Amino acid sequence: MWLCNRLTTRSATEIGRHFGNRDRKTVTNAWERTEERMAAYPVLKAEVEALAVTIAASAGASSAGYGELRGRALAMLDQARLVECEVARLRTMAIAMLAAAETGGPAVEAEASQSR
């Protein structure tokens, strides 16, 4: 529903008809929930915006304005990938430190000094 709103000039009522005769309020609520989720999850936002660009391009829509959107979406995906890699590294380090702490091994000190 969010993509239909973004990529067409259809009203909420018209979009709702195409999604099983949903009413206008259901459609606008779906738009709002999608916006909230995208604000909370940058990776989701980048993927949805990249999808919007792809759909617009495949539908033969004017690319005016979508080049910048595509660039922003790709940059966000790159940033998200870097964050995900860092999170995975930190998670692995934390697990190793916990394991060492449970056994009382010297790896706790070594791991802690590596994170600095």
How many beta carbons lie within 10 A of that of residue 82, not counting itself?
A: 10
Instruction: Give the orientation angle of helix 42-58 with respect to helix 24-40, to 10 degrees.
Output: 120
Q: Which comes out higher in pLDDT, residue 104 or 22? A: 22
- Structure-token pair, residue 3: 């993509």
The per-residue pLDDT for range 16-50, each reduced to its tens digit, is: 998 999 999 999 999 999 999 988 988 888 888 88
Q: Which comes out higher in pLDDT, residue 27 or 65? A: 27
- The C-alpha atoms of residue 92 and residue 87 are separated, in whole angstroms, by 9
Query: Token pair 């959107």 is at which residue?
Result: 69
- Structure-token pair, residue 29: 């609520």
Percentage of the chain with pLDDT > 70? 74
Instruction: Band the pLDDT of 55: cuts 50, 70, 90.
Output: confident
Q: Quick check: 115 pLDDT over 70?
A: no
- Structure-token pair, residue 50: 């990249």
